[in-house]
């Protein structure tokens, strides 16, 4: 795979992680060295707080509100934030969490610089 393939998104695998979260921290998406982009979506109601790492605390991270815009990250601009573990917490019970991502196919690694 060459730089042009990466730029055009050829051979990428897309995915979605969906779960329900309440007022206790939960994993939004696990780590992946193959991930090249990540989209953290706002909830349908209330707020979600996304945090880089294993424990989310409400209001102390990326706070997304219902009806707001998703938070988009790409590897070239955000570096390892895209490949790391993200946790999430809601402001109330039963908040739906949606995270979309793109990954390289298994066996393909990003060039190291």
Write down the pTM of the prediction: 0.84
Per-residue pLDDT at 13: 84
Q: Does residue 9 have a pLDDT over 60?
A: no
Q: Does residue 3 have a pLDDT over 90?
A: no
* Contact (CB, 8 A) for 50 and 28: yes
**Domains of the chain: residue spans and CATH:** 12-103 (2.60.120.770)
Tens digit of each residue's pLDDT (9 = 90 or more) over 23-73: 999 999 999 999 999 999 999 999 999 999 999 999 999 999 999 999 999
Per-residue pLDDT at 88: 98
Contacts of 80 (CB under 8 A, 6+ apart): none
> Any bridge partners for residue 50, and if so which?
62, 88
Per-residue pLDDT at 92: 96
40 vs 101: CA distance, rounded Å: 9
Q: Does residue 98 have a pLDDT over 60?
A: yes
């Amino acid at each position: 795979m060459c730089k042009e393939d990466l730029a055009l998104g050829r051979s990428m695998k897309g995915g979605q992680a969906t779960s329900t979260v309440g007022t206790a921290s939960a994993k939004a998406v696990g780590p992946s060295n193959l991930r090249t982009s990540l989209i953290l979506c706002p909830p349908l109601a209330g707020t979600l707080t996304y945090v880089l790492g294993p424990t989310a605390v409400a209001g102390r991270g990326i706070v997304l509100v219902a009806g707001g815009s998703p938070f988009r990250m790409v590897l070239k601009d955000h570096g390892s934030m895209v490949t790391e573990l993200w946790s999430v917490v809601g402001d109330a019970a039963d908040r739906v969490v949606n995270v979309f991502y793109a990954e390289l196919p298994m066996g393909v690694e990003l060039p190291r610089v």
